[in-house]
Amino acid sequence: MRSVLVTGGAGFIGANFIRTLISSDPNLKIVNLDALTYAGTKENLKDVEENEAYTFVEGFVEDLELLGALFVHHQFDIVVHFAAETHVDRSILEPSAFIRSNVQGTYAVLEAARTHWKGNLSENQVHLVSTDEVFGSLEAGDRPSKENSVYRPRSPYAATKASGDHLGMAYYHTYGLPISISHGSNTYGPYQYPEKLVPLVILRCLRGEPIPIYGDGQQVRDWLFVQDHCEAVLRILQKGQAGESYNVGGYDQVTNLQVVERICAILDQRIPVAGSYRDLITFVQDRPGHDQRYTVDTLKMAKMLDWSPAFSLEDGLASTVDWYLLHKDWINSAAQHSSYRHWERTQYQNR
């Protein structure tokens, strides 16, 4: 059996990806390393805990000694590195956590792989899951970012992810470590922590609370359903090339306000109220350095790996809303976490 290390597998995309892995190949041995911080919980993978091919290990990805012991014990062939701090607002409030996880954690993963993989590296892979935010904000009329576009990160989050990308490519060129990178666009779907826009809107609607929209809500993002994101990463593992990066987008570029309005419209149909959930929309002062537009060119994924997203934004949002409505206990539990309550109190201070 081939052995796969998934870091951050108890988080949003990681948990969905582990399910994708299990479905794709029953002959994979999967080890999930996760620190179970605020956005990661074993509840996200409760349905796969009894799978004999799955092992959970609690620990921090930046713990090089722990990583080394895991490499020795499990003899990993593949590493898929999801573990990261990902929320821009939190990176503004506490950048040090992003340095630890996104920079030091990525270094530890790369160094462990370099140290423990000997001889023929053609059977090994390290995949770094990155973000389109490393390319910075695009102006109206700018072409979508390509894989070789200049990095222009504008938030502590984006800067630390860019640092991880550069470390990965440095290990490829210097040590021959087989690295690939994916730059995913704004991903949404089941199990996403409710500080992010889509689940936040659903939670606020269910509570009848104001839906905060930064600035005028005209910031444009490319929206990608999590199942499509996971299938893209799997395709890169199967057919991608070492030393290459790949842009993964959802082909749906709309404003934040339009996304909120679409979620409200779905909930108006699912759980009607007097008036509309749109009445909860509240515009608040914009956050510092808020990027106006992200979009990536995904031609490389389409031509070289024969991948394109299967879900439209309309279908993906409807599926996501339905999942949260069926899992109200999950979203309410997440919203009761002390870290979430602290973020709710502090996110708009000094804006």
Which residues form the catalytic set?
A: 132-133, 157
Q: Are 99 and 160 in contact (CB under 8 A)?
A: yes
DSSP 75-134: --SEEEE------HHHHHH-HHHHIIIIIIHHHHHHHHHHHH--S-GGG-EEEEEEEGGG
Rounded Cα–Cα distance for residues 125 and 244 (Å): 12
The tokens 């990681």 sit on which residue?
A: 14
Rounded Cα–Cα distance for residues 44 and 175 (Å): 36
Rg from Cα positions in the chain: 20
Looking only at the bridges linking them, the beta strands covering 220-225 and 125-131 are unpaired
Q: Phi, psi (5° rounding) for residue 290?
A: -70, 120
Rounded Cα–Cα distance for residues 17 and 136 (Å): 26
Nearest to 9 by CA among 50, 59, 63: 59
